[in-house]
Structure 1
Amino acid sequence: MDLPPSRPPKPNSNHKPNWLERLTAFLLREPEDREELVELLHSAFERHLLDADALEMIEGVLQVGDLQVRDVMVPRAQMDAIDLAAEPKDFIPYVIDTAHSRFPVYEGSKDNIVGILLAKDLLRYYASQQFDLRRMLRPAVFIPESKRLNVLLKEFRANRNHMAIVVDEYGGVAGLVTIEDVVEQIVGDIEDEYDEDDSEDNVRPDRQGRWRVKAMTPVGDLNAVLGSAYAPDGIDTVGGLVVTEFGRVPKRGDAISIDGFHFRVLRADSRRVYSLLVEREAPVPADEA
């Protein structure tokens, strides 16, 4: 008995292509270079084939290959590190206050990082009277400032590391970088109403005679604008200057006076300062001096 020829299945009329399928169809014509690819992505966004979040993430992935570790690392002056010689009762409050999960541990100076302390390992201190900090340390990973972020992310995933110590060309510690720092370049920061805009100006005056200053501004640039004479030993940035004066990483809203100027933190997280508001302090009247 002959069977009727089989018919191809009818397409599902209810199927709606997702954004990835629509984008794939849109990109069938191959772009000639990266600029054309980005242009196609923005055209796809304008045609509602991509939403804003998807576009931002794709652009972040493309940009990661262009960035180096030095572009996103936490500078040495803003590193939260622990002295190997310190007693647990002395540094545990510091661990609690900064709320990190990992801390570089140094011996003698920050140029001699001997390992990484996981905050969860401090539970052993409360469970036993014997606690050897050196034995608790995990090996530290050292990387150059010039390493590409896409390569670093691949290494983080392969080695299951979450933090690396960044060294300069002379072997000194330049800062640290975490897997979160790299991922943020893809998914973006979580911003709020206190965040500053992305202006290229490092020091911007406002109408009240104050200055909004990015923490990564070189101290010399600040001196040139304010007419100040800050010359901190071994510190290059305004953020490093403020962190050193506080003796810790300040929180948003914290303020401090330094040689005639008032610095207030506008934006910061648990690891670094991002922006500050600086104003000249009013002179003290002669009868109050």
Structure 2
Amino acid sequence: MVVGELAVILLLLVLSGFFASAEVAFFGLNTFLLEREKSPIVRFVKKLLQKPVDLIITILVGNELVNIFISSLGTKLLKDTLGDAGVAAGTVVLSLLIFYFGEVIPKNVALQLPETLAKVYAIPIYLFQEILFPLRWAIKKLFGGLIEQVEKPKEQFLTVEELLFHLQEGYKNGEITKEELEMVRRALETADTTVEEIMTPRTDIFALEEDKKVGEVLDQIVERGHTKIPLYVENLDHTTGVLYVKNLLPTEDNLDKELRLFRREVNFVPQMLTLEDLINEFKGKKTQIFMVVDEHGGTAGLVTYSDFLSWLLGEMVEEWSRENEIRKISEGVYLIDASVNIELIAEKFGLKLPEDYEYSTLGGFLIEKFKGIPQKGASIEIENLRFVVEEVDNNRIRSVKLIVKR
């Protein structure tokens, strides 16, 4: 007899855990994750969630009934075996059993597996809900006013993960392109991406001393093709302004003027600023260029609105850049920007790279091969490839001619 009653109590504890975990599973469920499934079980889950008040009444009533039976049966069992003296102590033990095995443990499991448990529980809960229809109807009548407030639909918002899920589904179904998916994903990452990740580093900045005369640097300005150029005194840590090339008319009167006469105000942003805040800076300062400073106040780089757009557009810009950074001049002859990734060169032209290489660009690769900065016109042959240095500026290789031998 005692063994049978213990077995019933154990079964009731399992049912208590079932209802407690069902509450967490259904009401902690991210319904957007179910959109990818069209199974009958998922339809049951959605049907239950369409009437949340009916669902919560079913779960709570079931849980309360089970706990009442546990307490009643447990108290009777303790009284029969230990007498009146054991009832008080037994009540504490039963309460702890219900608390841990009927509440804490099941709910923690449901927090980890809401989707799985909701699908497992859907049919049993649905059947129990139908059985409880008269009681549910009575409770709703009794507490009608309060329930109406609860049943008012709440405005739902998509999380970033949910939005990305739907976009990925759209990509799989051919509704959006890979580039569009990537662009939206990047847009959602503006709060987590810093200026440092997209800026032009200090070593790659083309800048001019502000006391230089227009005539002295005009050829460099034309050759570089930049529309905005930082001006400085001594070095880039003392940037004084920005030269807007469109305002620099190469007339005879201007050729003898110093660049500082044409400079505009320069603005600064910290390198750890998020892109979300950078957008606001672009709007607030009404400028398209910022000098980027590090934690010590020194110049770390430069960032423009074009840099932000290039990052945002991702692969679309990268594809365009590749076409322009590696230009085919004639059959087997290419003019290449030295900043191109060396792995791209290796992939495109069959160049074998050592396993322990530390350079990342074509320029770095050639500097190692030449054992230093080569002069313009210097050449080197590697396998069936001949590299000719076309342009060197400020101790940096700028462009290279590549001749592929057949």
Give the TM-score range, shorter chain. 0.5 to 0.7
Distance 1:257 1:83, change over 3 A: farther
Distance 1:125 1:114, change over 3 A: farther
Distance 1:216 1:166, change over 3 A: farther
One-letter amino acid of the counterpart of residue 276, structure 2? N
TM-score, reference length from structure 1: 0.59
Q: 1: CA distance between counterparts of 2:171 and 2:231?
A: 46
| Structure 2 runs not aligned, ≥5 long | 1-34, 36-154, 327-340, 390-395
The SS at the match of 2:264 is: coil
Look at both structures and tell me which one has the larger radius of gyration over its CA atoms. 2
1:131 and 2:257 are equivalent in the alignment: yes
Report the counterpart of residue 66 of structure 1 in structure 2. Answer: 192
CA contact (8 A) 1:124 1:131 kept: no
CA contact (8 A) 2:232 2:241 kept: yes
Q: 2: CA distance between counterparts of 1:273 and 1:48?
A: 43
- Summarize deviations over 1:175-224 as a string: whole Å, max 9, x none: 1010000111222315156579xx9x89979964346953499x8xx8xx
* Higher normalized helix content (fraction of residues): 2
Higher relative contact order (CA 8 A, sep 6+): 1
The SS at the match of 2:281 is: helix
Report the counterpart of residue 161 of structure 1 in structure 2. Answer: 287
Bigger mean CA deviation after superposition, 133-142 or 57-66: 57-66
Residue 41 of structure 1, CA deviation: 1.0
- Summarize deviations over 1:115-164 as a string: whole Å, max 9, x none: 00110221175455763432321011111110111211221123220110
Q: 2: CA distance between counterparts of 1:92 and 1:229?
A: 33
Distance 1:50 1:115, change over 3 A: same
What is the aligned residue count? 219
CA contact (8 A) 1:215 1:275 kept: no
2:167 pairs with 41, 52, 72, which one? 41
| Structure 1 runs not aligned, ≥5 long | 1-25, 231-241, 247-253, 266-271, 279-289
CA contact (8 A) 2:207 2:230 kept: yes
1:191 and 2:319 are equivalent in the alignment: yes
Report the counterpart of residue 10 of structure 2 in structure 1. Answer: none
* Higher normalized strand content (fraction of residues): 1
Residue 83 of structure 1, CA deviation: 1.0
CA contact (8 A) 1:203 1:214 kept: no
Q: 1: CA distance between counterparts of 2:199 and 2:377?
A: 24
Report the counterpart of residue 97 of structure 1 in structure 2. Answer: 223
TM-score, reference length from structure 2: 0.44
Q: 2: CA distance between counterparts of 1:84 and 1:185?
A: 30
Report the counterpart of residue 214 of structure 1 in structure 2. Answer: 360
CA contact (8 A) 1:215 1:276 kept: no
Distance 1:129 1:186, change over 3 A: closer
Equivalent positions of 1:6-25 (< 5 A) are none
